[in-house]
Each structure stands twice: as structure tokens, then as C-alpha cells.
């Protein structure tokens, strides 16, 4: 008990000393302070100690490029992922620090390519806790909720632009299923960005099974139908049609799945009325027309 009080008070003193002071923060980093203090962010420590450690972590990623680089070099990415795994309702501050920390890492202007960060984070399955956080903040209103939504969707986009190995890792059925389920609740700009995330994954045939098992065809067909009278229909349908084409091309079972979910009348309407989108819808219809009696009927 006495040790706990000592640790807590020491962490409070450190946070007061380094607050918004770049020089002192950098000196603390140089003497090895980051791993020692970040250690107290782990779940095995009491909440009040973890909160002080989390406040220290926040200082590390929002004050200077150098402190953020050193934080990353000392295993800080794992600390951020652990924060993301907390419950948003019970430990909101930890989750916010996690999201903003990951976002800061990707916006770091340094020598390390974003793809390298994607590779490191993908090993920790970071998109799964992020998808859970996104699902919860979609239920909230206000500037903070919107900022979190924007940042999480932006992080998803970065992973879909990474190397093939990373895309294959993040094409997880649980992540995809949750993201697809939440598409209807997103604001138009984020909805389009998340569709681009799915489209980028769908360009790899190795992700198709995960997408199919996530009910992507059913969800996207429903979204295509419900967005037809929306202002952003062309942008949404552009992405959806590309995804459906990637999934259904040379796959009779997925073509049948799309047909059974009612995509053919929607494609026919698009071909007749939406000239810019015709070039995306027509190839899907043509493939279906040559795929057997069931689809032709």
C-alpha cells in the first residue's frame, strides 16, 4: 500500500515537471524514462497509477517529434494497443489516448514509412479494438465523437494502402463484419472512406473469402439500394460496384449470392439511368449473364 502511494506521487510529480516542457521531456527520454514510466500503464496496476502513466504517454506523443520517435522506439506502440482494448464507457481516457496516439504515430513526419507502422500494428490486431471503439462512438454526438470517427476511419484507410501482407492480416472476418454492419451509421465522408478501405482489400483475391464470410455482398447490396436517392449516391455506388466486381469476377458462387440478394435489378437501373456508373455496373451484369441458367433467369 505504501509503495503504491509512493509510485503514484512520483508519477504525479514527473507529469507536473514535464508538462508542456519539450526540453525536460527530451532529457527524461535520454536517461531512459519512457520504458520505466510506461510500464505502469499495464492493467496489473491500480487505475489511479495507470491514469498518471497514461497522462505521461499522452505527453510523449503530442509534444515533439523526437519524444514520439523515442516513445515508439521503447515499445510504445504496444502500450497504445493495450489502451484501445479498454472499455470506452468505464475507461474512456485510456481509449482516447490510444486512438489519438495511434493517429499521431501515423502522422509522424519522420524517416519511418507508414507501411512499417502498419506492419507492426497489424501483428497486434489493432483494427479489432479500433472497430469496437468506432462502433461505440457512432452512437455518440458532438465534436469529440466526430473527431474520433474521422481518425479511426483514416487509420483504417492507411492499412488498406499498405503492402499485401498487411492487407491480408487486417482482412479479419470479425473486423470486416463489424465495419460492414456499421457502414449505414457513418457520415457520408466516412462511409465513402470505409468503402474505399474494403475496396482496396477486395483487390486481393486472398481476402475474398473473409469478405464473403462477413456477408459483404448482402450488406453492400442493401447499402447500394438504400443510398440510391442520397446526394452522395455516385461516390458510394462507385466504391460498392468496384468491390462487387472484384468479389464476383470469375466466382459463380459469389455471383449467385449477389443475385439472390437482389443486386441485378439495381445494376439494371444503374445501367439505364446513371451513365458515369454504367462502366462499373455493366461488366458485373455481363459476367452474370454468362454464368449459368440460375443467374440468367
Rounded to the nearest 10 degrees, the angle between the axes of helix 143-160 and helix 127-137 is 150
| Whether residue 124 is found in the same domain as residue 210 | yes
CA dihedral 171, 173, 176, 177 (to 10 degrees): 170
The parent domain of residue 246 ranges over 218-292
Position 296 confidence tier, pLDDT thresholds 50, 70, 90: low
Based on the fold, state whether residues 158 and 206 are members of the same structural domain. Answer: yes
Q: What is the mean pLDDT of the chain?
A: 91
Q: Of 156, 182, 214, which residue is a domain's last?
A: 214
- Please state, in angstroms and rounded to a whole number, the distance separating the CA atoms of residues 198 and 180: 9
Do 250 and 166 fall within a single domain?
no
End-of-domain residue from the set 169, 193, 214: 214
CA distance 17 to 142: 33
3-state secondary structure of 283: helix
- Whether the predicted pLDDT of 111 surpasses 80: no
The CATH number covering residue 46 comes to 1.25.10.10
Task: Choose the final residue of a domain: 111, 131, 159.
Answer: 111
The 10s digit of each residue's pLDDT in 200-257 is 999 999 999 999 999 999 999 999 999 988 889 999 999 999 999 999 987 888 998 9
Residues 106 and 164 placed together within one structural domain of the fold: no
Say whether both 122 and 143 belong to one domain.
yes
pLDDT of residue 284: 84
In-domain check, residue 297: no
Is 261 among the domain residues?
yes
| 155 lies in some domain | yes
Average pLDDT over residues 79-105: 94
Q: Are residues 83 and 17 in the same domain?
A: yes
Domain check: are 90 and 119 in the same one?
Answer: no
Counting the structural domains of the chain, the total is: 3
Q: What is the pLDDT of residue 297?
A: 54
pLDDT, mean of residues 121-135: 95
* pLDDT at residue 178 in the model: 97
Does residue 229 fall inside a structural domain? yes
* 24/83 same-domain check: yes
Residue 210 sits in the same domain as residue 281: no
User: What is d(CA 255, CA 277) in angstroms, rounded to the nearest whole number?
Assistant: 19
Helices 127-137, 92-106: axis angle to 10 degrees equals: 120
Residue 267 confidence (pLDDT) above 60:
yes
Same domain, 230 and 198: no
Predicted local distance difference test score (pLDDT) of residue 46: 93
pTM of the model: 0.92
pLDDT of amino acid 272: 85
Rounded average pLDDT over 5-10: 94
Does 136 lie in the same domain as 152? yes
3-state helix, strand, coil in the chain (%, to 5): 80, 0, 20
* pLDDT number for residue 180: 98
| Domain contains 117 | yes
Encode pLDDT of 156-215 as tens digits: 999 999 999 999 999 999 999 999 999 999 999 999 999 999 999 999 999 999 999 999
Residue 234, in any domain of the structure: yes
Q: Residue 2's pLDDT is what?
A: 62
Amino acid at each position: 500500500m505504501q509503495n503504491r502511494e509512493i509510485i503514484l506521487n512520483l508519477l504525479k510529480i514527473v507529469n507536473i515537471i514535464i508538462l508542456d516542457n519539450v526540453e525536460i521531456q527530451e532529457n527524461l527520454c535520454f536517461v531512459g524514462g519512457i520504458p520505466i514510466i510506461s510500464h505502469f500503464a499495464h492493467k496489473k496496476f491500480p487505475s489511479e497509477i495507470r491514469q498518471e502513466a497514461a497522462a505521461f504517454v499522452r505527453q510523449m506523443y503530442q509534444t515533439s517529434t523526437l519524444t514520439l520517435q523515442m516513445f515508439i522506439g521503447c515499445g510504445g506502440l504496444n502500450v497504445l494497443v493495450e489502451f484501445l482494448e479498454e472499455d470506452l464507457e468505464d475507461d474512456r481516457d485510456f481509449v482516447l489516448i490510444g486512438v489519438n496516439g495511434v493517429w499521431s504515430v501515423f502522422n509522424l513526419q519522420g524517416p519511418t514509412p507508414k507501411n512499417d507502422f502498419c506492419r507492426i500494428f497489424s501483428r497486434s490486431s489493432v483494427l479489432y479494438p479500433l472497430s469496437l471503439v468506432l462502433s461505440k462512438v457512432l452512437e455518440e454526438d458532438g465534436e469529440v465523437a466526430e473527431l474520433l470517427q474521422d481518425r479511426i476511419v483514416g487509420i483504417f484507410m492507411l492499412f488498406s494502402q499498405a503492402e499485401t501482407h498487411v492487407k491480408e492480416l487486417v482482412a479479419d472476418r470479425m473486423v470486416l463484419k463489424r465495419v460492414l454492419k456499421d457502414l449505414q451509421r457513418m457520415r457520408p465522408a466516412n462511409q465513402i472512406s470505409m468503402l474505399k478501405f474494403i475496396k482496396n482489400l477486395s483487390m486481393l483475391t486472398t481476402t475474398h473469402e473473409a469478405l464473403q464470410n462477413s456477408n459483404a455482398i448482402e450488406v453492400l447490396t442493401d447499402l447500394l439500394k438504400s443510398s440510391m436517392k442520397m446526394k452522395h449516391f455516385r461516390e458510394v455506388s462507385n466504391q460498392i460496384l468496384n468491390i462487387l466486381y472484384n468479389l464476383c469476377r470469375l466466382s459463380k458462387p459469389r455471383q449467385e449470392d449477389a443475385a439472390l440478394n437482389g443486386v441485378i435489378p439495381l445494376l439494371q437501373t444503374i445501367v439505364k439511368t446513371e451513365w458515369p456508373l454504367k462502366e462499373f455496373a455493366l461488366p458485373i451484369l455481363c459476367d452474370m449473364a454468362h454464368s449459368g441458367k440460375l443467374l440468367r433467369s
